[in-house]
Amino acid sequence: MSADTTRQIAGGTGHTKITPRSKPRDESSAEGKFSFSQARSLIGDLANPNPRIYWTDFLLSIFGGFIALHATVHVPRLFWPAPWVIPVVVVSYLATVLLFMRSAMFIHELVHLPTEGFKGFRIAWNALCGIPLFIPSFLYYPHVDHHRRKHYGTDHDGEYLSLSHHSRWLIVGFIAQALVIPFLGLFRFVVLSPICWLIPGARAFVHRHASTMLVDPFYERDDASPKVMRIVVMQEFFCFLMGLGLIFRHKLVTGVWFDPVWVAAYFVAIGLLTLNEVRTLGAHRWTGDGSEMTFEEQLLDSVNYPHHPWISELWGPTGTRYHALHHLFPRLPYHNLGEAHRRLVAGLPADSPYHRTIAPNLFTEIAALWRRARNRGTTTESESKAMAA
């Protein structure tokens, strides 16, 4: 389905049809206010990723996450009913979620990193995080469509939902899906993967409809090249082995089917998914209606959270709290986004649209989205632009 056809997105008790505009509005005025050449001159020296930062940050995060998970699982078994067990488990659980969240968000960096010089990092990330957490990097390859000017907010963008134009129930459902996604992930790799290996005709359907981790459940992924498909099969094979290990490990070792790790893994997955979905709700203002958006609309539809870094970096790690800046310069490495934002704020004109991408905190933006979605499909274009401003 293309951006020139009617889009259907589930919302509330039925489907709401959004008919795109015949063509995008003129964007010359917006381009006149934001100068890419001026912005590049301010941050041009920040474009090179530092491999040492990537390796150190990721390895400390992922190994810290596994240590915290180990404590969450085994401290109650070894020390119950000591009075300090519950506080320790709560702290270790929160640490597991936050550290795994930070580790997982490097999947976003993998899409934008240069192919040269980071092959080892890609392999290590998949081996230590992507495969164990059932989020191999091939699931996120279609993210590039989210950054194409003509695709953003349309049916070609699998990371966009017109949330401002739909019922609040779509927002609730977006968060509540965290309860079932862990089972769907296990099903994808333990059941669907061997079906694809045994029945080649199933591969195309599974790849198009069950091989992404994007937000739009109706998104259809493009067919893969032979090179990409080899990566897909290799990564899903190791996820398949990981799934079998998770299911049968305890039975083979102890003879008992029930594995306490299942409970811990499920609740960690719920915490991780819920945190990421709340972060995603605040990454954009979701004012698009399914049609092609102008430069200014895309810019004002994305949000930066430069304030309270000790908190915002927990829910928006690896630079994802600077989402508007990331959309302007997708290849800017995450460790330089903070400095780049400070330079742009200081160096761009006072009337630059960039200043309006800044939000005080995550909850004010989600509350504003909740107000815009108060009645499905009733938010007008003028209201959406006013909220973005």
Percent of the chain exceeding pLDDT 90 equals 75
- Residue 226 preceded by cis peptide, ω within 30: no
pLDDT at 329 over 60: yes
pLDDT in tens, 33-65: 777 889 899 999 999 999 999 999 999 999 999
Both structure tokens of 149 = 């000017």
E strand intervals along the chain: 7-11, 14-18
pLDDT in tens, 347-378: 999 989 999 999 999 999 999 999 999 755 44
Top-confidence residue, 126 or 18: 126
3 state SS of 142: helix
DSSP letter string, 288-327: --SS---HHHHHHTB-B--S-HHHHHHHSTTTTTBHHHHH
Average pLDDT across the chain, whole number = 88
d(CA 202, CA 367): 42
d(CA 3, CA 1): 7
Top-confidence residue, 20 or 286: 286
E strand intervals along 27-122: none
Upper half-sphere CA count for residue 325 (Cβ side, 13 Å): 30
Element (H, E) at 318: none
3 state SS of 273: helix
Residue 244's CB: how many other CB atoms inside 10 A?
Answer: 12
Extents of the domains making up the chain: 7-47+282-361, 55-280
Give the pLDDT confidence score for residue 23 in this predicted structure.
Answer: 40
Q: What is the DSSP letter of 304?
A: B
